[in-house]
Structure 1
Amino acid sequence: MPRFPASTDISQSLAEVLGQDIQLDTWQSVSGGSIHQAWHVHSQCGQQFFVKTNLANKYHTLEAEYLGLQTLHDHISPENPLHIPKLYTLASNEQYSWLILEYIEFGQQTPASQTALGQGLALLHQQTAPQFGFEADNVIGENLQTNGWTKDWLSFWAEQRLGTQFKLAAQHGFYNSLQDEAEQLLSLLPQLLQGHQPIPSLLHGDLWAGNAAADTKAKPFIFDPAVYYGDRECDLAMTTLFGGFSADFYAAYNHVYPLDNGYEQRKDLYNLYHILNHANLFGGGYIGQSQSMMQQLISQVS
């Protein structure tokens, strides 16, 4: 089986971390990612790794993922049943960049794994910061996600979430079709978030079903984060956007960390960010869906 062109440099970067000679000699392409190439890699000694590769100019996207995973690792308490893939190294050469992680063999999601996932996410959300934001900007898909520290949640959501997506829409040439709804929605945000004062919780940030899994022992894992400190309802809202999370997951979450009143009314406001991001990434029907969501949100308070 052919090796990745930079396999020698990638092997060397891993050897430096492990403190031993290692040769990654079997490379099997893994499907599922839309931004990076993903590989299930074996060493000559039978060790297994998960490697993400891209061109050197995409190093920043892998760096953002590395920092997000490291942050999640650092804040997972010993009693938390949720797991984060082990990080080995992040590196690049003149042509390519790569991220080496623990290889996890996925199994079937079960009621037990969904329960543990809900419990673990609730415990993760109890890790907090003084302000909303993160120590660095990162990416959501391939789009920039700004994370400047902000004391006020309403301002953070208006400026660094919805506002950045509206700016991207202008760059992509379709903001004019959304402008009336966008301006009206931003003016109504104080009413949509009235009385809601969340604490800044540590979020996965991109928690759809494709970024959560269970291994063959039903141990839950989350990966591919877009980490920041925000309203925990944002993570919960996104789990409903594309499905894949069971009633066991939600019951377990609420048992550990019950959601605040009004979550159902705020859920679409938080998911609008991701639909706008999809519109900026893929265009098509997501543009109309964004407009419809804004119209529905406006109708709630106008």
Structure 2
Amino acid sequence: MTDARPDPIREAIARVLGVPAAELRLQGVGGGCVSDTARVHAGGRTAFLKREPASRGWQLAAEAEGLEALAAAGALRVPRPLSQDEADGQAWLLMEYLEIERAGDWAAMGRALAATHAATADRHGWHRDNALGGTPQDNTREADWALFFRDRRLRPQLALAAANGHDGPWLERGARLAERLPSLLDHAPAPSLLHGDFWGGNAGFCAGRPATWDPAVHYGDRECDLAMAALFGGFGPAFRHAYQAEWPLPPGHELRQELYQLYHILNHLNLFGAAYLGSARRLIDRLLAAGNG
């Protein structure tokens, strides 16, 4: 005897796409380190589906709003959200499927990112919290960038590392570094619209246009996106040179880049484990030494 109950998620997706649920075909997509992802084929259309337990539906809702914010800036191509909802204990985000190529004009990518950063707000943060990978991000607004980065970014990651059992003297050194942030981040950047997770795996080209996806949007120092782009590589010198030509970085950006990369290294430590602990320790020690200079 078969279970003939309708699948509420398939039914909802079919309604959005305007086809019978029986015509939907879901093809799993590898590479998602957090969400369950699939390509949705329906009546000649293709969409992209992300699924999470309902308890994390707020993360998908925040991602949808982040995509809308990046789209409104107009410089980067992003997948347009089609539907975000919950049913049967699961949350989902259905969005456009973009055909992505890695080969493209990386100088244009640099210019597009600079244009995105030109969208600014009066304070750092965002109107709602979101997540970096699977790690919640507190986006409570703050006028002072150094305080925002200390209290909403660095300290929460250090606390999470301690809670995850990555203890040791390095945590005390991390706490000392956090105390020094007001002097290390005294350049008073404008609150720019940030992608928030701008690494090579989240950037490419759609029909020749610079494209991006999987954001962790908020307003903050534009150097944060550039730091993440440099951390794992994949962008090439033309990207950085074009960005600099559009909007040169202020003095001291080399040290700040390492500080912003520390946030992502700590997040990887907390998501993926001790393989990132050595990198976190070395960065903290280097930043403390530089701060004493």
Deviation at 1:117, TM superposition (A): 1.2
Q: Describe the shift of the 1:175–1:153 C-alpha distance in structure 2 as closer, same or farther (beyond 3 A).
A: farther
Residue matched to 2:95: 101
Do the aligned partners of 1:205 and 1:234 also contact (CA within 8 Å) in 2? yes
CA deviations 1:157-210 (Å, max 9, x no partner) are 11111011111122112244323211221232233224x110000000011111
Residue matched to 2:29: 30
Q: Give the distance between the partners of 1:244 and 1:38, measured in 2 at CA.
A: 23
Residue matched to 1:65: 63
Within-5 A mapping of 1:82-231: 82-110=76-104, 112=105, 114-194=106-186, 196-215=187-206, 217-231=207-221
Matching residue within 26, 31, 48 for 2:46:
48
Q: Give the distance between the partners of 2:278 and 2:149, measured in 1 at CA.
A: 21
Deviation at 1:67, TM superposition (A): 1.7
AA aligned to 1:29 is G
SS at match of 1:178: helix
CA deviations 1:245-294 (Å, max 9, x no partner) are 01111122122222112111211011100011111112212122111101
Count of equivalent residues: 288
Do the aligned partners of 1:14 and 1:22 also contact (CA within 8 Å) in 2? no
AA aligned to 1:169 is A
Q: Describe the shift of the 1:132–1:175 C-alpha distance in structure 2 as closer, same or farther (beyond 3 A).
A: farther
Q: Give the distance between the partners of 1:54 and 1:286, measured in 2 at CA.
A: 26
Q: Describe the shift of the 1:15–1:282 C-alpha distance in structure 2 as closer, same or farther (beyond 3 A).
A: closer
SS at match of 2:26: strand
Deviation at 1:11, TM superposition (A): 4.2
Q: Give the distance between the partners of 2:100 and 2:234, measured in 1 at CA.
A: 15
User: Over aligned residues, Cα RMSD in angstroms?
Assistant: 1.9
Unaligned runs of 5+ in 2: none
Q: Give the distance between the partners of 2:119 and 2:101, measured in 1 at CA.
A: 28
Deviation at 1:95, TM superposition (A): 2.6
Percent identity of the aligned residues? 39
CA deviations 1:101-133 (Å, max 9, x no partner) are 1111222322x2x12211111000000000010
AA aligned to 1:199 is A
1:251 counterpart = 2:241: yes
Unaligned runs of 5+ in 1: none
Deviation at 1:58, TM superposition (A): 2.5
Once superposed, which parts of structure 1, at least 4 consecutive aligned residues long, lie more than 4 Å away? 5-8, 15-18
Q: Give the distance between the partners of 1:176 and 1:277, measured in 2 at CA.
A: 17
AA aligned to 2:246 is V
Do the aligned partners of 2:155 and 2:175 also contact (CA within 8 Å) in 1? no
Q: Describe the shift of the 1:7–1:227 C-alpha distance in structure 2 as closer, same or farther (beyond 3 A).
A: farther
Q: Describe the shift of the 1:172–1:41 C-alpha distance in structure 2 as closer, same or farther (beyond 3 A).
A: same
Length-normalised TM-score, structure 1? 0.89
Q: Give the distance between the partners of 2:145 and 2:102, measured in 1 at CA.
A: 37
Q: Describe the shift of the 1:274–1:108 C-alpha distance in structure 2 as closer, same or farther (beyond 3 A).
A: closer
